[in-house]
Amino acid sequence: MYKKQNVIIILIFIITISNLTADNLNQKFIEDNNAFAIELYEQLAKEDGNIFFSPYSISTALAMTYAGARGNTEKEMSDVLHFYLSQDELHPAFSKLSSHFARIQDIGNIELNIANALWIQKNYNILDSFLNINTKYYNANLFNVDFMNATDEAAQEINDWVEENTKNKIKNILKKRDLHPLTRLILTNAIYFKGDWEYEFDKELTKELPFWINKNKKVMVPMMYQKDRFKYSKHEDYQMLELAYTGKELSMFIFLPNEIDGLSKLEKKLKDILFTYLNQFAQHKKIEVYLPKFEFTKRFVLNKKLETLGMKDAFIISNADFSGITGNKKLFIHNIIHKAYVKVDEQGTEAAAATAVLMAESAEIEEPIFKADHPFIFLVRDNETGSILFIGRIVDPLDK
């Protein structure tokens, strides 16, 4: 029987790595990456609406960047991203994890494609040591583009690369306003996943049923149904269900609050659940499963979220130290953009994500002084269209 109080869900993709040993992959490295994933989730969850992102994509793109971080910039990135291995250990660890995913792809049960690239301003000097880390451990392709004189063309080339490496699921990750002539380096990661359920849902059993957004509001959605044996556990505040994909290399874990308004309470426990209780009480049981079909895309600019977590200097022109990239301290991160797509239906799951770390060079010009100590005009406009939303003037700031 369908119970209307069980309708809010948390979806989490967890990569199965139980076949790896401590000899070929550092388990603490995996736990550290997952800790960053949950902390970033907690930041994104402060906003309303659906959330979907790839912490692996974000961590990888920032690890590529981290290879050139030095001083306090390196320390802050290490603390926020949970990069607690030394630089000499961290990048090989990412390489081993990527090789593991490649082996999963080669088995052929699912599709799991990962690609990395560096987009470098033509004639801009990047240290060989930095390039070698990215090509050796991240298999990154190197592309020369002209951000200074052909900004739109460079953005289009990067967008085309992302689209191609996500099978057309992530389009236009960069907008025109994201780039400017001082952009010198962009680091990108793209990931694409497609897996069929181990036990597919019968399309004939999918029906329109209510999904309760809150206690007072519901919407009708196509709700999938099946009855079979799944790994399942029931707790005081939530239920957990594991839906494996063909081959069982990957699974989707679903955490379902017992109450309609229980999502916030559950999110506060998420870190403990993932690191302490996951699978602790799970058993294979015959169970009726109702799961809504859904498909959506989310785009995030992550600067403020990472600053809130403590990664600050990397975004400040005067403080950023990426001297391991160029040999000087002119580069800083001016944008970290992430875009993700997910589709869940009767057959399985299709997901894609891409991350772009945009680095600009500080301009060596005399800083002007803007002292608004006399009457002035001001306006507010939409920068993408140029539409003016508000306009006014200040003659007396104390005049109410």
Per-residue pLDDT at 396 exceeds 80: no
322 in any annotated domain? yes
Query: Where residue 25 falls among pLDDT bands split at 50, 70, 90?
Result: low
177 vs 59, residue with greater confidence: 59
Which residues of the chain form beta strands (DSSP E)? 10-15, 111-121, 141-145, 183-196, 207-214, 217-234, 238-244, 250-257, 283-292, 294-301, 331-344, 348-361, 376-381, 388-394
Asked if pLDDT for residue 350 goes beyond 80, the answer is yes
pLDDT in tens, 263-317: 888 888 888 877 776 666 678 888 888 888 888 898 999 999 999 999 999 999 9
- Is pLDDT of 188 > 50? yes
Q: Is residue 391 part of a domain?
A: no
Domain range spanning residue 19?
1-370
Least confident interval from 31-35, 80-84, 343-347, 362-366? 362-366
In sign, the C-alpha dihedral spanning 226, 229, 234, 238 is: negative
Q: What pLDDT score was predicted for residue 24?
A: 59
- Residue with token string 């994933």: 37
The CATH number given to whatever domain includes residue 272 is 3.30.497.10
Q: In the predicted model, what is the mean pLDDT of residues 173-190?
A: 92
Give residue 8's pLDDT: 61
- C-alpha 284/C-alpha 387 separation (Å) is 58
Higher pLDDT, 153 or 112: 153
Q: Is residue 26, in this structure, part of any structural domain at all?
A: yes
Residue 369, helix vs strand vs coil: coil
Q: How far apart are CA 174 and CA 165, in angstroms?
A: 15
pLDDT digits (tens, 9 = 90+) for 46-78: 888 888 888 889 999 999 999 999 999 999 999
Q: So what's the pLDDT on residue 206?
A: 92
Place of tokens 């970033």: 40
Residue 393 lies in a domain: no
pLDDT band at 382 (very low <50, low <70, confident <90, very high): very low
Name residue 227's beta-bridge partners: 288
In a domain, 33, yes or no: yes
pLDDT, mean of residues 24-42? 83
Cβ atoms of 57 and 353 within 8 Å: the answer is yes
The reply to whether 95 falls in a domain is yes
Token readout for 35 is 């800790």
pTM flag (> 0.85): yes
> How many domains does the chain contain in total?
1
Of the two residues 155 and 370, the one the predictor is more confident about is 155
Angstrom distance (rounded) from CA 190 to CA 61: 9
Q: Does residue 392 form part of some domain?
A: no
Q: Is residue 400 part of a domain?
A: no
